[in-house]
């Protein structure tokens, strides 16, 4: 492999210089680069040197003061001259020892040229070698530029043909013959040339910090934002060939542009999907032709029946949190975004088949219940309760979530949204801000939720249960639980006693005590129906502290 630069050592191998002696400065022979050749005919010629010269001179220049050569060598070194060849014999038989010592100290090659060698015998061959080396350098540079142009054009053509990150990595691997992978931060996934890549399987289990310390990694940064990283199966500290560096740079640029393209496409898709979802829930899109035009944004697996999940968070009088010297305020908008982003991610991970948007200050998720509606309703209820419980416990925030009624026709999903909205308004009116409601389990309350007057609801409950405020709270709760058990069991005393683990006579005695406290006839069928409604309202609102 040819050396990158022409050195003094290379010059000394020219046949024309075979009789020349390297008198001093041997340590610099392999390091000092020769780019031109010239003749020094006076001591002040050193002032005109530009660096890289192989100078020739005679002992005539220093005949009166041989030790002035110390100053000349010092100046030549300062100007990065490659070497000095002196023809001896006419005025000086040898170079003073102190001059030789200085040349050794400064690693400045000092050559002795025999008297029978003419300068023209040296200059010609040296110029030929310099020209040849420069031509080789030019050819290498031309070859390098052609290679760069080929690589850049190939990546550009790949992108213009619609090739994604996977195609880019496959092309990169073909060029450098080394496994490569890319981590896209916006999608959170590893991308590799093959479907099942052992390289990705290996690196995906390694912590990010250790990964960068082990493998050769290029960050994918754009406009001050890190979008991921490109990794090749090559040691981090290992030498990287020059042609790899160009190829990796072009691949990195291609991947960055592809990520930007995919982000823009995804954002456009989200906007399109948001418009579709909001049109559906408000009933603005109900013609089947219009629905079919939009359905592709939901994906082929998004099959009927469907249901709406509605989330509501009311900051109310909750104080803002101020942290740090800069007084960073945790505003309600950020709190809502945090809750609903977490809910969407949670449902996407544990359930899937969900699309979300915001309607005003409320979170709306459209969910497919396919293929088992009953089982999936129960699964969603469990997931929503678990999410609300965990998030409230971890973040200290309370909110309500409603699961509307299911529909088979997506064009009628507005009815599920309306049901969920009625239930959410009812929760707000009654102060039930820490609950998960399922519309299809609300029973009779579904008919009562059209009223959102909290005071009216409170007065209605107080009419039937307010009399228990005259007894101690624990006894009041016991009486209310007894009435609710009786309502659930159709006022069958034996069934109610068994459910409550009471003796039959004990339950009869308790009913007698209750009838003496309440202001209505406990035996009246109509009064019993009104009582059931009051009890349902009471238990639907755990925060309604009447007593």
Pairing of strands 328-329, 354-359: unpaired
pLDDT tens string 298-313? 888 889 999 999 998 8
The tally of domains found in the chain comes to 4
| 355 plus 493 within the same structural domain | no
What are the C-alpha distances in Å from 224 to residues 124, 227, 250, 508?
56, 10, 19, 76
pLDDT tens string 466-488? 889 889 999 999 999 999 999 99
| 468 plus 440 within the same structural domain | no
| 166 plus 80 within the same structural domain | no
| 442 plus 462 within the same structural domain | no
| 296 plus 442 within the same structural domain | yes
pLDDT tens string 2-60? 446 889 998 898 888 888 999 999 999 999 999 888 888 888 888 888 899 999 988 88
- Select from 383, 264, 399 the least CA-distant residue to 340: 399
Let me know if residue 182 belongs to a domain: yes
Let me know if residue 533 belongs to a domain: yes
| 436 plus 302 within the same structural domain | yes
Let me know if residue 37 belongs to a domain: yes
| 345 plus 297 within the same structural domain | yes
| 29 plus 116 within the same structural domain | yes
Report the first-to-last Cα separation within the chain, whole angstroms.
95
Let me know if residue 157 belongs to a domain: no
What are the C-alpha distances in Å from 534 to residues 377, 467, 527?
27, 13, 10
Q: Which residues contact 387 (CB under 8 A, 6 or more apart)?
A: 342, 343, 346, 347, 401
Tell whether the model's pLDDT for residue 428 goes beyond 80.
no
Let me know if residue 205 belongs to a domain: yes
| 291 plus 259 within the same structural domain | no
pLDDT tens string 48-95? 888 999 999 888 888 888 888 999 999 999 999 999 999 888 888 888
Pairing of strands 83-87, 53-58: parallel
| 195 plus 233 within the same structural domain | yes
Let me know if residue 276 belongs to a domain: no
The pTM assigned to this predicted structure is 0.49
Determine the structural domain holding residue 514 and report its residue range.
Answer: 456-540
Boundary residue ending a domain (133, 153, 179): 133
Boundary residue ending a domain (393, 422, 448): 448
Let me know if residue 150 belongs to a domain: no
| 119 plus 12 within the same structural domain | yes
Dihedral of the alpha carbons of 450, 453, 458, 463, in degrees to the nearest 10: -70
pLDDT tens string 253-283? 999 998 888 888 888 888 888 888 999 999 8
Boundary residue ending a domain (448, 483, 512): 448
CA atoms within 13 A on the CB side of 378: 3
């Amino acid at each position: 492999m040819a050396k990158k630069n022409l050195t003094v050592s290379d010059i000394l191998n020219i046949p024309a210089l075979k009789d020349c002696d390297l008198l001093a400065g041997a340590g610099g022979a392999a390091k000092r680069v020769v780019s031109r050749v010239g003749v020094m005919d006076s001591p002040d010629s050193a002032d005109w040197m530009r660096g890289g010269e192989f100078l020739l001179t005679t002992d005539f220049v220093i005949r009166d003061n041989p030790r002035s050569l110390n100053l000349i060598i010092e100046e030549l070194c300062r100007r990065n001259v490659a070497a000095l060849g002196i023809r001896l014999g006419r005025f000086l038989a040898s170079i003073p020892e102190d001059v030789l010592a200085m040349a050794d100290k400064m690693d400045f090659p000092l050559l002795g040229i025999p008297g029978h060698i003419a300068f023209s015998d040296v200059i010609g061959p040296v110029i030929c070698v310099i020209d040849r080396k420069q031509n080789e350098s030019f050819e290498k540079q031309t070859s390098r530029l052609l290679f760069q142009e080929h690589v850049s054009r190939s990546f550009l053509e790949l992108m213009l043909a619609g090739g994604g990150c996977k195609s880019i990595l496959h092309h990169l691997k073909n060029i450098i013959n080394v496994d490569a992978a890319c981590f896209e931060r916006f999608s959170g996934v590893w991308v590799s040339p093959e479907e099942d890549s052992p390289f990705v399987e290996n690196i995906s289990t390694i912590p990010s910090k250790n990964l960068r310390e082990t493998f050769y990694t290029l960050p994918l940064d754009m406009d001050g934002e890190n979008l991921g990283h490109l990794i090749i199966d090559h040691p981090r500290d290992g030498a990287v060939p020059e042609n790899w560096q160009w190829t990796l740079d072009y691949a990195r640029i291609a991947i960055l542009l592809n990520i930007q393209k995919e982000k823009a496409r995804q954002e456009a898709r989200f906007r399109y999907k948001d418009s579709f979802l909001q049109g559906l829930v408000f009933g603005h899109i109900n013609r089947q032709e219009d629905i079919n035009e939009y359905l592709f944004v939901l994906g082929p697996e998004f099959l009927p029946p469907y249901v709406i999940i509605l989330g509501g968070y009311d900051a109310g009088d909750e104080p803002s949190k101020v942290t740090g010297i800069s007084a960073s305020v945790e505003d309600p908008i950020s709190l809502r975004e945090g809750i609903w982003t977490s809910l969407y991610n949670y449902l996407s991970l544990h359930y899937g088949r969900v699309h979300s948007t915001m309607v005003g200050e409320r979170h709306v998720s459209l969910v497919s219940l396919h293929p088992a509606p009953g089982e999936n309703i129960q699964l969603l209820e469990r997931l929503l309760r678990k999410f609300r419980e965990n998030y409230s416990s971890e973040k200290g925030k309370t909110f309500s979530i409603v699961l509307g009624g299911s529909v088979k026709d997506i064009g009628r999903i507005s009815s599920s949204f309306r049901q969920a909205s009625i239930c959410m308004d009812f929760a707000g009116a009654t102060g039930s801000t820490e609950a998960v409601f399922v519309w299809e389990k609300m029973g009779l309350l579904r008919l009562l939720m059209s009223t959102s007057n909290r005071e009216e609801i409170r007065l209605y409950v107080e009419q039937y249960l307010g009399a228990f405020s005259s007894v101690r709270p624990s006894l009041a709760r016991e009486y209310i639980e007894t009435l609710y058990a009786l309502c659930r069991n159709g006022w069958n005393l034996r069934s109610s006693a068994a459910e409550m683990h009471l003796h039959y006579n004990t339950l009869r005695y308790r009913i007698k005590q209750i009838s003496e406290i309440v202001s209505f006839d406990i035996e009246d069928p109509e009064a019993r129906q009104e009582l059931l409604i009051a009890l349902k309202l009471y238990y639907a609102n755990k925060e309604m502290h009447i007593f």
